[in-house]
Amino acid sequence: MTMMTPPPLEQQEDEEILVPHQELTEGPQPMEVLSAETANALESQQVEDPPTFKYRWTIENFSRLNAKKLYSDIFYVGGYKWRVLIFPKGNNVDHLSMYLDVADSATLPYGWSRYAQFALAIVNQVHGKYTIRKDTQHQFNGRESDWGFTSFMSLSELYDPSRGYLVNDTCVIDAEVTVRKVIDYWSYDSKKETGYVGLKNQGATCYMNSLLQTLYHIPYFRKAVYHMPTTENDMPSGSIPLALQSLFYKLQYSDNSVATKELTKSFGWDTYDSFMQHDVQELNRVLCEKLEDKMKGTVVEGTIQHLFEGHHMNYIECINVDYKSTRKESFYDLQLDVKGCRDVYSSFDKYVEVERLEGDNKYQAENHGLQDAKKGVLFIDFPPVLQLQLKRFEYDFMRDTMVKINDRYEFPLQLDLDRDNGKYLSPDADRRVRNLYTLHSVLVHSGGVHGGHYYAFIRPTLSDQWFKFDDERVTKEDAKKALEEQYGGEEELPQTNPGFNNSPFKFTKYSNAYMLVYIRESDKEKIMCDVDEKDIAEHLRIRLKKEQEEKEHKKKEKAEAHLYTIIKVARNEDLIEQIGKDMFFDLVDHDKVRAFRIQKQLPFNHFKEDVFKEFGIPVQFQRFWLWAKRQNHTYRPNRPLTPQEEAQSVGQLREVSNKTHNAELKLLLEVDIGPDLHFLPPPPKTKEDILLFFKVYDPEKENLRFVGRLFVKALGKPTEILSKLNELAEFPPNEEIDLYEEIKFEPNVMCEHIDMRMSFKSSQLEDGDIICYQKSLTSANRNQFRYPDVPSFLEYVRNRQVVHFRSLEKPKEDDFSLELSKLFTYDDVVERVARQLGVDDSSKIRLTSHNCYSQQPKPQPIKYRGVDHLLDMLVHYNQVTSDILYYEILDIPLPELQGLKTLKVAFHHATKEEVAIHTIRLPKNSTVADVINDLKTKVELSHPDAEVRLLEVFYHKIYKIFPPGEKIENINDQYWTLRAEEIPEEEKSLGLHDRMIHVYHFTRDSNQNQMQVQNFGEPFFLVIKEGETLADIKIRIQTKLQVPDDEFSKWKFAFISLGRPEYLQDSDIVSNRFQRRDIYGAWEQYLGLEHSDTAPKKAYTTNQNRHTFEKPVKIYN
């Protein structure tokens, strides 16, 4: 399952989005997202290996491509035609967009469908390990004939010639496509086929599912969880032990896949947490720590330690004196190196490798001073259940980023940690314990560092039969699938299509083992114990059996739904209860009234007997009205049932009343009660009689309530019922009142004044209409109330919105809430926020909208008066509405700020090492010269007349010296660093044959391609003179950089052109190398200083996103 979040324009850098390609219109677009359930549903169960093809597409003159989109040649896989589709400048995003396309979709027959798993990659032609690859799976059809990644990789990285993705302006794209036959997901029964059930994926919880299945299939662990004390009053969503017990019980006894929502709720996670992919190792530690804490003081205290805890000894032993220091430490899992190790044993060898402390690194021994010593780790004991975390992800210091290690790494079915006479064991280890382990489970990660899918291979009984637990799906697998195919590394596939790259390809396998669980042979019987119902608390069995019975009951109801009709009966009591509390418009919420489930063939007159039993209203006093949905989207009583209709069956009546053919029949029960509180027969209803409903509004209390219904004559006038209305509202008999008709509330409120002098018919009133009334107000006392009349109150109710405001500096914490109207203007909103914050000038308030998908502030703030109303600030892509806004308090008014260009400039002092970041604000029509003049007022110069220049630096190279007259409006400091520095005197008076060259620091990765150059540090210019040797230049460079002699003697110097170093000798004439002027970009030809990068990473950053969040795994409860 690849991590996916819509929409494409507001993602963090490491998010990836899988979408049909759709040419995106300008502006953010909500994208269709591949759900985990769909992805897993489509994975097929194969007997034979499915057809796979690997295709390479080489695109020359890539940076000069003008086409918006480009297709590859067609290639065949599984008898189908495929091609790759790219958007070289992005599909309206600042990333390369890339998709797999069904080449002949336009000519395929209606209803065609095919399923493929595929990977797309941009090859790094200099450094293979930096190739960017993303894989997914999709069911292709007429509506979605292409699928892939709108944001595959950033354009800035792709087009940077030093990164290795474009070499000689050539881009290489690999596609690996596997076509699978699709078995209908719904027809596959995991329980029937394997005896086990899977776990449902909540969005990106495959990593959690694979871990939970592994823990569940350690019976001793499961038994301990069952024995954790819980009570019948606990709720699973608030209790981790009960939620885990419930989950394990369902895995053990359910016939279908099990949901994990109760468990994640017990963790305190919200929906967003469930869509954040986390690290299995981290979750394993956090969950075990939490369970260990919850088990304290219970009968199962110490279980986690007993199962998973081992101990090792860290030691330092002096060679020449009798001194040894040891420290015992515990572990629950072991982190094993993958890089540089061929298998588990070589990782253990490396783990216990002895380090020599000598020379400058001698050990300070107590009472013995500095001594040569040996330092290492040995194991005191191993746990019954050994969890090995394979270090597949490592930090690459060269690129300052995480990378995935896909190297081949073998692991045995049986692991002997007593090998070679117990070389891993400390002298204190108990040699009577046989540390022979058998493999229980293999957790697999498929994908790259930015996301992927997790699943597990498990031997639940340690037999020869393996099972693959892949979210909801459980399948039988052979040992080769679980072991050898998860070693990782490369595989070689010969070309199956003549004419396309006939040489065989080597492709990295991106699916590989990430965590191994071994069980000690001597503890096998104890760990793999029987777990049955007697281990499960009685209250838990009762609760879960009741849940199962309810589930079965609902399933039965669903199966028999076609035999029944749901009749929802609304009464006067419901209207009184709901209006003014739960609702203000229309009359009733039908989901909150009494519902009856009645067999369709039952005569309606018999149903009236059920109503009598329920409400105590005799049949002869009941009259039922049908409801109707009007064209203006209101829902009102329409007409009473006729005697003939009441003689029909319930099913016939529903069909007459309901054009949408759903299973519900909605009715209003009319009952009349006399002064003596006895029931009265329903009054005769003629065409002249109109049934009206009445609500009363109190402007002082801002309250609306239902007071009753009346029949009126069509030709009668409101004046004739005034006394009755006053009586219903408990007003004085002669109170003057104003009447309004509530007409509609979607999309806008319509509530019109009723003329008392006109008849009801002339006012176009009919059965089911609503009249709202209130005491008449004089023009003087209207000003006393916020909402003096019914229309203004209903307008307020329709548009009121509680908005939660957060400081942009603390975007996860609500600061305060305000009740506002969605119709408030921009000025209204900022004025209310300013008042709340005690800010005198509301124009200094800047607001930012909320991204409902990422749960973060949007990257761009709202411009001054850039939206008309509050509603525009809250709507997210015309789909969902948020109730969160972020605020900032500016130091200058926003209109003034928007008229300025803000740049962050790093000023490098001429003689001091310090770098100061300055924020420069100037009018947008200003020039670079204006920036420099403003900067001069803020910095300390070496002398008053010093000249300053502005440079563009990107990835430790100088790409541009800004001309003083260049306008600043189009300068981008989001990705590039703007550096200001004094111009050295030597550069001001260049001789005829003098050259100013670029000088950059670089290093190389000794483990990788020796030609690969990685730049770091601060680049600079240097003037070289004709005939000047490297030895002469070295003296000036050492003086400039103030590098000590012993360190500088280790530096190497090279002429580098297009990333390839040519090392120089002291006697070489440097100017001879810098003769060509026709190369592409001066930064591609420079003097390189090779030495180790000892500077701390990210000493300063001038270009950073406005908002970045890295979420660790947290269990809150």
- Please tell me the distance from the alpha carbon of residue 348 to that of residue 335, in angstroms, as a whole number: 10
Q: Look at residues 531, 562, 539 and name the one whose alpha carbon lies nearest to residue 461.
A: 531
What is the number of residues in the chain? 1117
User: 834-852 in b/e burial notation, b at 16+ Cβ within 10 A?
Assistant: beebebeebbbbbbbbbbb
Q: Are strands 171-180 and 401-404 parallel, antiparallel or unpaired?
A: unpaired
Identify whether the C-beta of residue 463 lies closer than 8 Å to the C-beta of residue 413. Answer: no
Catalytic hit among 171, 206, 751, 852: 206
CA distances from 1092 to 403, 829, 1012, 1059 (A): 21, 55, 15, 18
Two structure tokens written together for 623:
């009259």
Q: Are strands 689-698 and 770-775 parallel, antiparallel or unpaired?
A: parallel
What are the φ and ψ backbone dihedral angles of 573, each rounded to 5 degrees? Answer: -60, -35
What are the φ and ψ backbone dihedral angles of 421, each rounded to 5 degrees? Answer: 60, 35
- Please tell me the distance from the alpha carbon of residue 748 to that of residue 799, in angstroms, as a whole number: 9
Identify whether the C-beta of residue 445 lies closer than 8 Å to the C-beta of residue 511. Answer: yes
- Please tell me the distance from the alpha carbon of residue 858 to that of residue 848, in angstroms, as a whole number: 7
- Please tell me the distance from the alpha carbon of residue 227 to that of residue 301, in angstroms, as a whole number: 10
User: 621-630 in b/e burial notation, b at 16+ Cβ within 10 A?
Assistant: bbbbbbbbee
Q: Look at residues 233, 19, 234, 230 and name the one whose alpha carbon lies nearest to residue 138.
A: 19
In a 3-state reduction of DSSP, which class is residue 604?
helix
- Bond prior to 984 in cis (omega within 30° of 0): no
Identify whether the C-beta of residue 980 lies closer than 8 Å to the C-beta of residue 903. Answer: no
Strands of 247-322, DSSP E? 310-318
Identify whether the C-beta of residue 574 lies closer than 8 Å to the C-beta of residue 693. Answer: no
- Please tell me the distance from the alpha carbon of residue 625 to that of residue 608, in angstroms, as a whole number: 13
Two structure tokens written together for 121:
């990659």
804 has catalytic annotation: no
Two structure tokens written together for 1098:
């990210």
- Please tell me the distance from the alpha carbon of residue 700 to that of residue 846, in angstroms, as a whole number: 35
Two structure tokens written together for 775:
């005491």
Instruction: Indicate the residue type of 256.
Output: N
User: Other CB atoms closer than 10 Å to residue 459's CB: what's the count?
Assistant: 22
In a 3-state reduction of DSSP, which class is residue 1?
coil
Catalytic hit among 95, 138, 453, 850: 453
HEC readout, 383-406: CCEEEEEEECEEEECCCCEEEECC
What are the φ and ψ backbone dihedral angles of 941, each rounded to 5 degrees? Answer: -95, 160
- Bond prior to 7 in cis (omega within 30° of 0): yes
**Which residues neighbour 754 within 8 Å (Cβ) at sequence distance 6 or greater?**
718, 739, 740, 741, 763, 771
Question: End-to-end CA distance of the chain, in Å?
Answer: 27
CA atoms within 13 A on the CB side of 1015: 28
Q: Let me know the angle formed at the C-alpha of 317 by 312 and 321, rounded to the nearest 5 degrees.
A: 160
CA distances from 787 to 13, 336, 652, 704, 771 (A): 48, 70, 47, 12, 18
- The helix or strand, by DSSP H or E, that contains position 475, with its residue range, turns out to be strand 473-477
Residue 112 C-alpha from the chain's centroid: 32
318 has catalytic annotation: no
Q: Quick one: residue 1039, left, alpha or beta (phi over 0 = left, psi -120 to 50 = alpha)?
A: alpha
List residues with catalytic annotation.
Answer: 206, 453
